[in-house]
Chain A
Amino acid sequence: MFQATSINHHNEAVQKRVKILFGVMTSLLILPVLIILTMLIIRGGPAISWEFLFESPKNGMTAGGIFPALMGTIALVTCALIFSVPLGVASAIYLSEYASDNWMTRLINLAIINLAGVPSIVHALFGVGAFVMFFEFGTSILAASLTLAIMTLPVVIVATRESLQAVPHAFREACWNMGATRWQTIRRVVLPNSISGILTGVILEVSRTAGETAPIMFTGAAFFLPFLPQSIFDQTMALSLHLFVVSTQVPGVPEHIPYGVALLLILLVLVMNSISIAFRMYLRRLKKW
């Protein structure tokens, strides 16, 4: 029989130490964030109330609530989704169902990677140059949400493409053999089998869009507006920009207001992401193939 030699013992000891070291590193990555979250909850929690959610800011934003900002964020996210979801899904369908492995496809993939990698402030410059100035939308919800839509397009494309490609190829072949066209196959077989995967991508995009600040700063979000926007050509307040404003631009804001806004924003994003993750895990369990 094999007898463990001293070298084996040494290796085992090293292995154990390394495992502990990496475990500690992982927790050191997560721990500070948990501490910060706790601090946000302790300091911001008491600020959140019905009045905080449903009142306008008062006294130069040093009192009152965040209602217009909350509504503005909802409006911006909704408009951005209207633009980016159809476009993103179409793009993913092309890449997954039609594109062959040629230079064009490689170019599209490169463009998607770069669209996701271009700094948010460069997207903001683009929004100003293209939508605010060139197309003359002015600083408006329309310009801001178009900027956001282009910025978050890669999220939808990547998530949708993954869920389309998860549908087994045999499903498509079976459908083609029945004489169906490509589009009939996509419509009746591929999309129904991947719709939930696409939805998780859309939820992720909501969370991403809601948190962005730089792209909307100069394209449609205002520091302070006493009223709600009436159309997509009006400016609006937004939760993310409001946090920036009350924590850096306005003197004399009581501490609980920015903490409250930060907590609300982080909860919004984390809840959205958790729903998306839970949805994904549920789907994985349901999977029939």
Chain B
Amino acid sequence: MEQPLPSTHSNLSDMDRRNADWYIDKLVQALVFIGGISAIVFILGIFVFITKEGLGFIWETLDIRDYFLSPRWRPTSEFNPTYGAMALFVGTACVTGMAMVVAVPFSLGAAIYIAEFATGRTREVLKILIELLAAIPSVVWGFIGLSIMNGLIIKLFNVPIGLNILNAGLILGLMAAPIMTTIAEDALKAVPDGYREAAEAMGATRWQVVWKVVLPASKNGLISAVLLGVGRGFGETMAVLMASGHAINIPHSVFDSVRALTATIAAELGETAVGSDHYRSLFTLGITLFIITFVINLTADIIVRGRRGS
């Protein structure tokens, strides 16, 4: 009476659905995966190629102590070239610091206004304006610093040169502010509306809600917005090159000209012989910049993630 179970072996080929579509699907998946990892490949490529040019110089010629502690950047000196980048670090730090003094309060204020106070059409228009501001190219900002701000600063403060920390800092602040505003606004928006409603139900005014509830809840997002602004300031090239005065100098006031790391590479790379010590020293500056901005971006990312985790 025992019926044999129907064999699964005979119709195995019917189960096989590997037709042309299946193979195309697998092929596309592979192609798309290559696209997916391209960002990793490129970021590694950037690191490899700039270290390839700069690393030999760091081992053989560069005095690391001097690099960080000496203000004498004289790579073109015939007998005794020195590669002290301290003045460049100080220059970049001063300009970025100045930019943040301008940009942080204003962009956080603007973000709070747009996210929490403005409504309807006003909010839409402000958001669009901020987005358009972020689009202005850095070389145009540099030109504005050179042609408009320069004269303005000379006249207003009665100083001999208008291309200085103040000028570059203001320009950089105006450049970084829209980006910081957008990211900060996103962070504020990420706070659940339930928090606001709960506070308002207790009779809090809009400002009390913002100050006591929304700001503490979005603290990490706001910090990372500021950090990304700092990163942007650190890496800005053309605007700083054109507006900072580009003079190697340890500044004593905001009216002194300085020189930034990025601007040094931009100004000198064109005049160096490929493979020379000067050329490789510029790649060393590039490695330094890469590492600094990488750390800043990583920190900003970790801070935001920390918020999500908790």
Contact = CB atoms under 8 A, between A and B. Distances in A.
Interface of A: 8, 11-12, 14-15, 18-19, 21-23, 25-26, 28-30, 32-33, 36, 39-40, 86-91, 93-95, 97-99, 104, 107-108, 110-115, 117-126, 128-130, 133-134, 150, 153-154, 157, 181-184, 186, 207-208, 210-214, 217-218, 240-241, 243-244, 247-248, 255, 258-259, 262, 265-266, 269-270, 272-274, 277
B40 A119 contact: no
Given A107-B40, A259-B147, A244 B142 contact: yes
B238 A182 contact: no
Contact of A89 (B35, B45, B206, B289): B35
B222 interface: no
Given A12-B205, A22-B110, A25-B105, A112 B137 contact: no
Given A90-B32, A119-B262, A217-B266, A29 B110 contact: yes
B202 interface: no
Instruction: List 10 A-B pairs, minimum CB-CB distance, nearest first.
Output: A90-B35, A211-B137, A119-B235, A94-B36, A25-B109, A22-B113, A129-B49, A181-B25, A111-B39, A15-B205
Contact of B297 (A15, A32, A113, A262): A113
Contacts of B128: 277
A33 B297 CA distance: 28
B35 A87 contact: yes
B238 A91 contact: no
A121 B283 contact: no
B229 to A, nearest CB: 11
A247 B282 contact: no
Contacts of B25: 181-184
Contacts of A26: 109-110, 113-114, 118, 126
B75 interface: no
A125 B236 contact: no
Contacts of A91: 32, 35-36, 38-39
Nearest to B286: A125
A244 B25 CA distance: 48
Nearest to A215: B237
Contacts of A277: 128, 131-132
Nearest to B274: A133
B37 A25 contact: no
Given A11-B208, A117-B228, A117-B293, A29 B36 contact: no
Contact of A29 (B37, B136, B181, B286): B181
A25 B301 contact: no
Given A121-B237, A244-B143, 14 more contacts: A25-B106, A26-B118, A29-B178, A33-B174, A94-B36, A117-B235, A117-B294, A122-B50, A125-B49, A130-B49, A217-B270, A244-B238, A248-B146, A269-B136
B137 A266 contact: yes
Contacts of B147: 247, 255, 258-259
B191 interface: no
B28 A183 contact: yes
Interface string B111-123: 0111001100000
A158 B25 CA distance: 24
Interface string B41-63: 01101100110110000000000
A125 B274 CA distance: 12
Given A184-B25, A243-B143, A111 B42 contact: yes
A109 B4 CA distance: 56
Nearest to B51: A129
B137 A184 contact: no
Given A25-B109, A94-B33, A214 B266 contact: yes
Nearest to A243: B139
B79 interface: no
